[in-house]
Amino acid sequence: MSTIRLDNVTKCFGQTKALDGVSVVFEENKIYGLLGRNGAGKSTLLNVISNRLFPTVGEVTIDGERASENDHALSKVFCMSDKNLYPDTMKVKEIFEMTKTYYPEFDMNYAQKLSHDFGLNINKKIKGLSTGYNSIYKIILALSSNAPIVFFDEPVLGLDANHRELFYKALIDKYSERPATYVISTHLIEEASDIIERVVILKEGKLILDEDTETVLAGGYAVSGSAGAVDEFCKGKQILGQDVLGGLKTAYIKGQVRRDEIPENLELSKPDLQKLFIQLTN
Amino acid sequence: MSTRLTPSFKVHFKGTAKSVIVFYIVMLALFVIDLILNIIFVGNNNSEFSGIEMIASIFFLVFGISCFKPNLKMAFANCVSRRTEFISTMLSAATYSFIMVFLNAGMVLLFSMTSNSEFAFNQMYSDYAFANGFIKFLTWFLYEFLSLFSSFALGYFIGALYYRMNKGLKIAVSAGVPTILLIGMPIAIGFFGPDSIFVKAIVACMDFLIKTVANPYGAILLALSSVAIFMVLAFLLIRKAPIKEQ
């Protein structure tokens, strides 16, 4: 069992509330998308869970154990940070070896295989890596750690399209082979939406959504057509947001609709996760 | 015992090895250069090469200062608690202090084969009468061990202090402490006069330290107190240390 529970967690930096009364449960063996705009509190949330920051108020528990300064609970967590926490002079292979010391389940062969697939030279020092490879070696660490709970904070930062695809594929393969709780904090929502099972959205430090991806997507629809027709159709409905391009308009509407309810001059479509996210966080 | 203590100790022990090895290689190289220069230019090898114990303590002080931040960041990277990070670092430093006592002794013995080299402990306490050889050995060991360990503890405390301070405070302390010691103190002494309580208190403190260190057991007690004080202070600083981006 690897369940993380946050009870009313608030984190303040001076007068700024980075997290404001967040209560959420990350269930075992699920892939979560932790979404939010810049400064919404995503990294702070991951840092609080992984004991890098102390909550000002509230508590984090892992499998019922208090996480704060608790090595037993924390040994179940691997948190890939977007920042580099290793000395610049260390070689990638030295970091692999060190991580193996902390995480006995760390799969060195798998780490070497992934390094080969990504084209990462493990004899290179951290300071010699490009931005993309700085993310790649941390992705490999996280996937190879075999920790029951793995956080990815901006994992695809600086990665090209090929490497991003390779990451998503490696993540799915790993999850199929050895399920774990994965929490992915990312801005590239549309790319990750296919693998995210549940969505957690933060806005200005507050939790505004915590639902299964399917439920979120089923909870809304989009209609597009001429602005007048769309406006007419939207009357009395709960509009999440709208895009206007010239005379054309797309409205994102909360709720469900049957196709036969849609006028012929309008087109019905499913809103993608990114669109819903934009509407929710704007 | 924490599940992460052994791995954390292993990582610190391995991480320290490189620096310690480099330090002793440099010391050996300096000794060889000194020896060669003496033979070439003076025509004999009657040089003076001692003080390795003091140099090793300074090395360990600097190592303590510089290891705090990278070690803490690696602990954060691997979700290790601050308490375990602190204990494992201190255990590793104590182990290296133990090893370095004998490495220093080995160096002194090596140097003494070709130059005038003497144990610092013997130089300081040549007039002191020890009950027997074993007591002298034990006192020497404790003195050397605690000198090294207290240097590390002081360095680690300074490292922790700087980590916790903000940028403004770092600048203020970095500039303020030397200014007070080098400029402020002489001015204050001149201002208050030699008969003032202020100057008498400073003299009394210095006198106390000199008298304490003059006795090997006093020096051991002083080093032990320093270890305890700096370890407690460093722990208080690390126990709530947050992650820093830079």
Q: What is the mean pLDDT of each run of 10 residues along chain A (282 residues)?
A: 92 94 96 92 96 96 95 96 92 96 96 97 96 96 97 93 95 95 90 90 93 86 92 88 87 85 88 78 75
pLDDT digits (tens, 9 = 90+) for B180-230: 989 998 898 888 888 888 899 999 999 999 999 999 999 999 999 999 999
Subunit contact B70:A87, Cβ cutoff 8 A:
yes
Neighboring chain A residues of B63 at a CB cutoff of 8 Å:
none
Interface contacts A/B by beta carbons within 8 Å: 66
Confidence at residue A172, expressed as pLDDT on a 0 to 100 scale: 96
Chain B: residue whose CA lies nearest to A82: B245
Q: State the pTM of this model.
A: 0.90
Subunit contact A51:B78, Cβ cutoff 8 A:
no
Confidence at residue B37, expressed as pLDDT on a 0 to 100 scale: 83
Distance between A277 CA and the closest CA of chain B, angstroms: 28
pLDDT band at B44; cut points 50, 70, 90: low
pLDDT digits (tens, 9 = 90+) for B124-140: 898 888 888 899 999 99
Strands A220-226 and A248-254: antiparallel
Q: How many CA atoms lie within 13 A of B139 on its CB side?
A: 19
Best mutation site among B2, B69, B74, B79 for testing chain A: the one with the most A CBs within 10 Å?
B79
> CA-to-CA distance for A250 and A175, rounded, in angstroms?
36
> CA-to-CA distance for A32 and B33, rounded, in angstroms?
62
Of A152 and B34, the one with more pLDDT? A152
Q: Where are the domains of chain B?
A: 5-164+215-239
Subunit contact B76:A86, Cβ cutoff 8 A:
no
- Identity of the amino acid at B245: E
Confidence at residue A256, expressed as pLDDT on a 0 to 100 scale: 84
Q: What is the dihedral of CA A175, A180, A181, A183, to 10 degrees?
A: -40
Find residue A253's DSSP bridge partners.
A221, A239
Distance between A194 CA and the closest CA of chain B, angstroms: 28
Subunit contact B82:A69, Cβ cutoff 8 A:
yes
Kindly provide the ipTM of the predicted complex, given to two decimals: 0.88
Per the prediction, chain B carries an average pLDDT of 92
Structure tokens at B162: 């700087």
Of B104 and A218, the one with more pLDDT? B104
Best mutation site among A98, A103, A152 for testing chain B: the one with the most B CBs within 10 Å?
A98
Confidence at residue B112, expressed as pLDDT on a 0 to 100 scale: 86
Q: How many helices (H) and strands (E) does chain A have?
A: 10, 14
Give the largest CA-CA distance in chain A: 64
Confidence at residue A34, expressed as pLDDT on a 0 to 100 scale: 95
- pLDDT of B246 > 80? The answer is no
Subunit contact A103:B78, Cβ cutoff 8 A:
yes
Nearest to A51 among B2, B8, B79 (CB): B79
- pLDDT of B40 > 90? The answer is no
Confidence at residue A216, expressed as pLDDT on a 0 to 100 scale: 84
Chain A residues within 8 Å of chain B (Cβ atoms): 47, 50-54, 69-72, 74-75, 77-79, 81, 83, 85-87, 98-99, 101-103
Neighboring chain A residues of B83 at a CB cutoff of 8 Å:
69
Nearest to B243 among A47, A70, A103 (CB): A47
Confidence at residue B127, expressed as pLDDT on a 0 to 100 scale: 84
